[in-house]
Amino acid sequence: MGLKWSLNGKYFSYFGVRVESSKGLIDKLKPRDRDSYTWAEYHGRQVNLSATKYESRDIVLTCWIKGDNVTKLTEQYNVFLSEFDKSGTQRLLVEPFGYKPFVFDVILMDKSELEKEFRDGEMFGKFTLTIQETNPIKRILYTTSSQLSITYNSPTETDIIIDGTRYQGREVVNFTKNLVPRTVQSIEINGRNLFVGKLFLDGSDYPNASIREQGKIKLQTTSNFNAYAGAIPTVRIRSGNKYIACLDVKVDRSLQDLKFTVFFEYPDNSVTINLINYAPNVWHRLIFKSLNIVDPSRGLLIAADGKGPIGTIVEYKNLKVEIGENATDYSSAPEDQHYISIAGNIEDISNFTTNAEVLWDKI
């Protein structure tokens, strides 16, 4: 099983770091020592049998790092460890391919020594990273929404940590937060969605021909309509590469004419798909493949146009723009993926509600 490791949104591989082995990530925590008493007239001892409380989570990572030379290796190592110089806890994310990720908010607990080795013309280093999660019992939430809502009751203090930023809640907790795209490493790899946010075709050359809402177009006339979103700044494409844009579309009835067009370099490098013979009330995945990008500064534009009966509803969702020529299943951009940790005496929380997905109820 492969793992992706990131620290504060930066993949370990960005620093040339690989994890050889790990200890303490998902091990059972050590129980705290219990108060106990001995009595001369009784056998054994009397022990506090209240609910078990646990020690902090200690994590040890044995890592390799590779550099072109000793100077580069040392620079990469120092930059990687400088993430722990920041105030507060640092967000460690461990993502098993195809499985739920593990989320830890950690501090550096011990020095790290770099052992260098020159092999086959390359410089390698090995080091141990000793870190600790001081509040280890937690509930993990996940959302791609721009708004987060959490309510619960807790008799004790809890930490609410959103993408590494800490808040606190106790007694009656009613927490709402507008979420902004999180800071992650900007890299182009197959399957990574380069589009950040939600697509909104709000522009139109015929503004009275339709009502345009997030993810929906409602026709107000039988004449031509169009809707578009242009020069999308949240898509970072580069010259010389090919890209694929995929979009789910559904119409509630058959239309005389309906086309979706993606301009990868507006007004050029475009692909149009006509949905006139597509079945209504069914989501259809549209796939648009670009030619090699020449001038990415022109920006990417997506447009819908056609005509149909008044009241027709055209829906769209799940835009994904990725590098390469092979489309992959939909996934949100990493910037839109938010992980929320609620840490403390999770077993005492009651009346819990949230608009986010509960990824781990208790871990």
DSSP string for 254-290: --SEEEEEEEEETTEEEEEEE-TTSPTTS-EEEEEE-
- Using a pLDDT cut of 90, give the percent of the chain over it: 71
Torsion angles phi and psi, residue 192, rounded to 5: -80, 125
- Position 106 scores a pLDDT of 96
Report the distance separating Cα 122 and Cα 32, nearest Å.
Answer: 46
pLDDT of 252 above 70: yes
- For the chain, the average pLDDT equals 91
Dihedral angle sign, alpha carbons of residues 134, 138, 144, 145: negative
Grade residue 225 by pLDDT with cuts at 50, 70 and 90.
very high
Cβ contact 157:173 at 8 Å: no
pLDDT, mean of residues 88-97: 92
Tokens of 80: 């990687």
Name residue, tokens 């790092």.
Answer: 65
Report the distance separating Cα 243 and Cα 232, nearest Å.
Answer: 15
The amino acid occupying position 225 is: F
Name residue, tokens 């990720």.
Answer: 101
Report the distance separating Cα 137 and Cα 155, nearest Å.
Answer: 16
Cβ contact 358:229 at 8 Å: no
pLDDT of 20 above 90: yes
- Position 301 scores a pLDDT of 93
pLDDT, mean of residues 269-273: 96
Specify the DSSP class assigned to residue 294: S
Tokens of 20: 């050889």
The Cβ of residue 177 has, within 10 Å, a number of other Cβ atoms equal to 16
Nearest to 239 by CA among 289, 321, 295: 295
pLDDT of 189 above 80: no
pLDDT, mean of residues 26-46: 90
